[in-house]
Amino acid sequence: MLIIYNLLELRTALNNIKLKEKQVGLVPTMGALHQGHISLIKRAISECDAVVVSIFVNPLQFAPHEDLAQYPRNVEADCQLCEKLGVKIVFAPSVEEIGVTGDTETQTNTTTVIPPESMTSGLCGKYRPGHFIGVATIVTKLLNIVQPDRAYFGQKDAQQLAIIRRLVIDFNLPVNIVGCQIVREESGLALSSRNQYLTPEEKTQATILHRSLQQAAIAFRKGIKETASLIKTVKNQLATIPEVKMQYVELVDPATLQPLTIVEKTGLLAIAAHLGKTRLIDNIILRQPIVAIDGPAGAGKSTVTRRVAKELGLLYLDTGAMYRAVTWLVMNSQIVVDDESAVAKIVKGVKIDLIPGNTPHLPVEVYINQQEVTQAIRTPEVTANVSAISAQAAVRKELVQAQQNYGVEGGIIAEGRDIGTNVFPDAELKIFLTASPQERAKRRLSDLQNQGYKDINLKQLEQEIIERDNKDSNRAIAPLKKADDAIEIITDRLSIEEVINKIKELYSNL
Ligand code: AMP
């Protein structure tokens, strides 16, 4: 790993990486790294060839009365951590090297980037004038310096994330902004470098922030959509710990940050509060839940998912149909299926629509680039090629992005092998549906016998299932993995009905 302090050296190192057509990921931080930062770094490493972590405590985003001087700094430990994680470059410039002068009040001495007033006048912007000008300015500089393919930011700073997404659109910056879910302590407290300022007692008191947001989320899922009522729920909860002095509770559109009076589909509910001398922020996205069902082949995932979708009124996000649709498109474009660069070109920006259908056999209608392909993607030719297509990194990347776009508003259920770990790591309900290889072999035997096959060896089926599990768990792309927070359901002694009822019950208790 390289630790670089100056721009020239950074440019040389990056040029070498880019010459090799490597994808570069940037994780901008102010250091004092914790598990929240680590989650961003790990995600970047899993999606990019080379990851740059910047460590820069940005004076432009601090007001003169704020904690710039005390802000925790520990570059040496941060570098060791980055090295262990597999980061390629830590970029830790000085204020002079990066060329910033001033703070939120004196930043007029430098060229600044001013986000739209409508996005900075509420939430933290109201209490930290100039803060988001400082953030937007330094992020623009870092994006220009590193020119990454992807840059990673935490949902913890939701206003910052929305402003950066807007900045990248408005300045036509060629970078993908990746938002990462909030990492919390077991107590629910969102991790933050500033938590170091809290006493043990304050740390316990601070958990009220998350608890109050959760109360509102429960109310929302029970059908309460009015902002006034949801905010009141949060405020009542916060008031139970008088040491926590609320600064604001707001409910806004997550992308535009405009205040909502009613949450139609999705809303960002955000809090700032003081506890002693420490200012804390936290937030939650209100939306209909996402249900992620993962598990090995033959555990009954697809039957269960279709039925649960219908009974709970969720959209069945048929990820398999999406891979089939791309396979169909490739085959219809006279491209050789394993010509990865031609496939990558055709899949870039592809538009796939899944529209709820009426029959249990085909629960969604499938469109690719506006063409209806619901039946066409079920032919044996498509089936024969779909695994070769879905193993290609470019296809995977594009379709995971498309699936995540479906997830923005929630209200969906999806099944696969990495839905809860990779596609929707923030799903409200994660199920790991499994059964013993013996049981799955028995089910498969009975399916095959019903289709008229005879003389099948049960032991051999069982062996095949064990081998397939092994392959699925160890493959490089999208391996089968149980998410830490997934609920395991072993279906050996359960009927489909019982499994469905179990999932419905878990959903209603969210
Ligand atoms: P900071 O060092 O505080 O500027 O944070 C650097 C990046 O890490 C920002 O994109 C933050 O949103 C993100 N981050 C900080 N805390 C967390 C957390 N608890 N969970 C997820 N991301 C976080």
In angstroms, the Cα distances linking 446 to 90, 318, 467 are: 57, 25, 20
In angstroms, the Cα distances linking 343 to 145, 331, 352, 368, 384 are: 31, 10, 16, 15, 16
- pLDDT of amino acid 453: 85
Residue ID of nearest Cα to ligand 1 atom 13: 154
Stretch among 52-56, 64-68, 200-204, 476-480 having the lowest mean pLDDT:
476-480
Percent of the chain at pLDDT above 70?
Answer: 99
156 CA → ligand 1 middle, Å: 6
CATH architecture of the domain with residue range 2-180: 3-Layer(aba) Sandwich (3.40)
Check if the beta carbon of residue 55 is closer than 8 Å to that of residue 30. Answer: yes
Task: Give the mutation target among 29, 178, 281 for probing the ligand 1 site: most ligand atoms within 8 A of CB.
Answer: 29
- Are domains 193-286 and 288-508 of this chain identical in fold? no
- pLDDT of amino acid 480: 87
3-state helix/strand/coil string of 381-414: HHHHHHHHHHCCHHHHHHHHHHHHHHHCCEEEEE
375 assigned to a ligand binding site: no
Q: Which atom of ligand 1 is nearest to the CA of 157?
A: 12
Q: Which helix (H) or strand (E) segment is 489 a member of?
A: strand 487-490
- pLDDT of amino acid 226: 98
226 CA → ligand 1 middle, Å: 30
156 assigned to a ligand binding site: yes
* pLDDT, average across residues 159-182: 96
Terminal-to-terminal C-alpha distance of the chain: 43
Residue 141's nearest CA partner among 87, 97, 192 is 97
pLDDT tens track for 231-276 = 999 999 999 999 999 999 999 999 999 999 999 999 999 999 999 9
154 assigned to a ligand binding site: yes
Task: Give the mutation target among 152, 156, 159 for probing the ligand 1 site: most ligand atoms within 8 A of CB.
Answer: 156
Q: Which atom of ligand 1 is nearest to the CA of 156?
A: 12
CA distance 53 to 40: 10
Is residue 216 classed exposed, middle or buried when 0-12, 13-18 and 19+ CB atoms within 10 A define those classes? buried
Would you call 65 a catalytic residue per the annotation? Answer: no
Task: Give the mutation target among 35, 37, 207 for probing the ligand 1 site: most ligand atoms within 8 A of CB.
Answer: 37
Residue ID of nearest Cα to ligand 1 atom 11: 154
Check if the beta carbon of residue 155 is closer than 8 Å to that of residue 161. Answer: yes
Give residues (CB < 6 A) around ligand 1.
29-30, 36-37, 39-40, 153-154, 156-157, 180, 182-183, 190-193
CATH architecture of the domain with residue range 288-508: 3-Layer(aba) Sandwich (3.40)
Collapsing DSSP to helix, strand or coil, 346 comes out as helix
Beta bridge partners of 365: 355
CA distance 111 to 150: 25
Check if the beta carbon of residue 166 is closer than 8 Å to that of residue 177. Answer: no
- pLDDT of amino acid 215: 96
31 assigned to a ligand binding site: yes
48 CA → ligand 1 middle, Å: 19
| Tokens matching residue 372 | 């209806």
Task: Give the mutation target among 157, 168, 191, 207 for probing the ligand 1 site: most ligand atoms within 8 A of CB.
Answer: 157
Residue ID of nearest Cα to ligand 1 atom 12: 154
pLDDT tens track for 110-136 = 899 999 999 999 999 999 999 999 999
40 CA → ligand 1 middle, Å: 8
CA distance 238 to 374: 50
Question: Mean pLDDT of all residues in the chain?
Answer: 93
Instruction: Read off the pLDDT band of 479 (50, 70, 90).
Output: confident
pLDDT tens track for 62-73 = 999 898 989 999
Instruction: Give the chain's length.
Output: 510
- pLDDT of amino acid 84: 98
**Residue ranges of domains in the chain:** 2-180, 193-286, 288-508
30 assigned to a ligand binding site: yes
12 CA → ligand 1 middle, Å: 28
- pLDDT of amino acid 468: 85
61 assigned to a ligand binding site: yes
pLDDT tens track for 312-342 = 989 999 998 999 999 999 999 989 999 999 9
CA distance 116 to 92: 29
Pick the CATH number of 193-286 from 2.40.50.100, 3.40.250.10, 3.30.1300.10, 2.70.98.30: 3.30.1300.10
Instruction: Read off the pLDDT band of 102 (50, 70, 90).
Output: confident
198 CA → ligand 1 middle, Å: 17
67 CA → ligand 1 middle, Å: 17
Instruction: Read off the pLDDT band of 108 (50, 70, 90).
Output: low
Q: Which atom of ligand 1 is nearest to the CA of 183?
A: 20
